[in-house]
Amino acid sequence: MSTSSNPTPSPDTAREGYDRDRQVRVAVLGVGMMGQDHARRLATLTVGAELVAVSDVDVARTDAVAAEFGVRAIHDPKAAIADPEVDALVIATPGFTHEELVLLALEAGKPVLCEKPLTTSPETSRRIVEKEAELGRPLVQVGFMRRFDTGYQQLRSLIESGEYGAPLFLHCAHRNATTPPNFSSEQLMLDSVVHEVDSVRFLTGEEIVAVRVIAPRSTTAAPEGLLDPQFVIMETESGVLVDVEIFVNTTFGYEVRTELVAEKGQARIGLHEGIVTQSAAGWGGSITKDFKERFGAAYDLEFQRWIDAVRAGTNVDGPGVWDGYAAAAVCAAGVESLKTGQRVEVDLGARP
């Protein structure tokens, strides 16, 4: 079963037929940490994009970011979606707000790049899948940026080539230095492991059919009551077994790695990012600080591909609403398993 609307971003097809004179006028909704980073990307880097407005429920923040980039401040995000001088939207608000904003953008017929997660439950994501199907054309891309990372693309190509035979295991580790205030035990799954869920679907081309989450002893660095780390076991349709160590208070750095074990070979990505040095002082590398550093190039490519697709009129070149829905369904099963310790099956139902 294919797991993606647009599984492999391809430079040549993405650029075919776009209108070279057309600048896509983009508004960023939610200009906190990610929204500001994306606003900068659109204003300074993405070819064919024009950042025209920012919008955030925090009025002072909207005004400050608008002034920084010399664009319009629109205080009501719904007004930004409806604005005739805005062609496309980036949604970088918290996950619980995504359903309403994405549905409004679909009603307005505007292309959207929505940060992960598409929404925080399978029911709400399913509503978006159905709404987009009713409209009959893709408009929503989901911000699973790892699909644009060179390592993930290489690993996917290796699996697809069949050179190593069938994949048997994927061992994943996802480690963050610290968590934002009020990060809950469920958010390890909903905010962090959601990336592994999408990566596994991207790498194997299969749906995930069952999940089990185990909470071992918690680190003393975790805030009171936070179950951190957790260990997630997932099974794909053909029986590939995936384990994820999710550990979000390591205190010192950001690390995302995957090891493939296949019938005739093994491969690893994410082990050593950046420079590795060797001198009389010893051998070593640097520690990646956070996701903005680790996946900076992936976000850049994600945005360029998305804008190229909007200019070409295809609107999406990457994970779409079905990918967002499937990830939400697996994460909901994971949250259920965290409560009971049981293996929980995932039933996605029919794809419209």
Ligand X SMILES: O=C1[C@@H](O)[C@H](O)[C@@H](O)[C@H](O)[C@H]1O
Ligand Y SMILES: NC(=O)C1=CN([C@@H]2O[C@H](COP(=O)(O)OP(=O)(O)OC[C@H]3O[C@@H](n4cnc5c(N)ncnc54)[C@H](O)[C@@H]3O)[C@@H](O)[C@H]2O)C=CC1
Residues forming contacts to ligand Y in the complex (CB under 6 A) are 29-35, 55-58, 61, 77, 92-95, 97, 115-116, 143, 145, 191, 291
Q: Could you give the residue ranges of the DSSP H alpha helices within the chain?
A: 11-15, 33-44, 59-69, 77-82, 98-108, 122-135, 150-161, 187, 194-204, 291-294, 296-312, 321-340
Instruction: Please pick, from the candidates 98, 110, 195, 311, the single residue that binds ligand X as defined by CB under 6 A.
Output: 195
* Residue 83 touches which member of ligand X, ligand Y, none, C-beta under 5-8 Å by kind: none
**What's the min distance (Å) between Cβ of 256 and ligand Y?**
10
32 binds, among ligand Y, ligand X, none (CB under 5 to 8 A by kind): ligand Y
The two structure tokens encoding residue 160: 């697809």
Query: How far, in Å, CA of 52 to CA of 177, rounded?
Result: 34
DSSP symbol at 90: E
Q: The tokens 């059919």 sit on which residue?
A: 209
Q: How many CA atoms lie within 13 A of 193 on its CB side?
A: 33
Q: Is 321 helix (H, G, I), strand (E, B) or coil?
A: helix
Between CA 121 and CA 156, with CA 129 as vertex, the angle to 5 degrees is 85
- Indicate whether 249 belongs to the interface with ligand X (CB under 6 A): no
* The one-letter amino acid at 338: L
Q: Which 3 state secondary structure label does DSSP give 202?
A: helix
Residue 31's binding partner among ligand Y, ligand X, none (Cβ under 5 to 8 angstroms by kind) is: ligand Y
Residue type for 122, please? P
CB of 245 to ligand X, least distance (A): 12
- Examine residue 152 and tell whether it contacts ligand X (CB under 6 A): no
- Applying CB under 6 A, which of residues 176, 230, 288, 337 lies at the interface with ligand X? 176
List, as one string, the DSSP characters of 48-66. TEEEEEEE-SSHHHHHHHH
- Can you say whether the dihedral through the CA atoms of 26, 29, 34, 37 is positive or negative? positive
Preceding amide of 229 cis, omega within 30: yes
CB of 117 to ligand X, least distance (A): 9
Tell me the sheet residues that pair with 128: none
Q: How near is the Cβ of 118 to ligand Y at its closest, in Å?
A: 9
Binding mask of the shown chain, residues 59 to 78, with x at each position contacting ligand X by CB under 6 A:
--------------------
Q: Does residue 247 interact with ligand X by CB under 6 A?
A: no
Query: Which of residues 65 and 188 has its CB atom nearest to ligand X in the complex?
Result: 188
Q: Between 132 and 191, whose beta carbon lies closer to ligand Y?
A: 191
In the complex with ligand Y, the residue whose CB is nearer, 18 or 299, is: 299
Ramachandran assignment for 318, one of left (phi > 0), alpha (psi -120 to 50 degrees), beta (any other): left
Residue nearest ligand Y (C-beta atom): 32
Q: Which of 48, 122, 46, 108 is nearest to 77 (CA)?
A: 108
Segment interacting with ligand X, rule: CB under 6 A, options 12-20, 68-76, 119-127, 188-196: 188-196
Report the residue closest to ligand X, judged by CB. 192
Tokens 């076991």 correspond to 233
| x-or-dash string of contact with ligand X, 291-310, rule CB under 6 A | x-------------------
* Residues contacting ligand X: total by CB under 6 A: 6
From the list ligand X, ligand Y, none, partner contacted by residue 319 (C-beta under 5 to 8 A by kind): none
Measure the CA–CA gap between 91 and 27, rounded to whole angstroms: 9
Q: Which is nearer to ligand X, 106 or 248 (CB)?
A: 248
If one asks whether residue 191 binds ligand X (CB under 6 A), the answer comes out as yes
Query: Residue 292 or 351: which CB sits closer to ligand X?
Result: 292
From candidates 4, 119, 185, 192, binder to ligand X by CB under 6 A: 192
Kindly tell me which of 141 and 176 has the beta carbon lying closer to ligand X: 176
Q: Which residues would be at the binding site for ligand X (CB under 6 A)?
A: 176, 191-192, 195, 248, 291
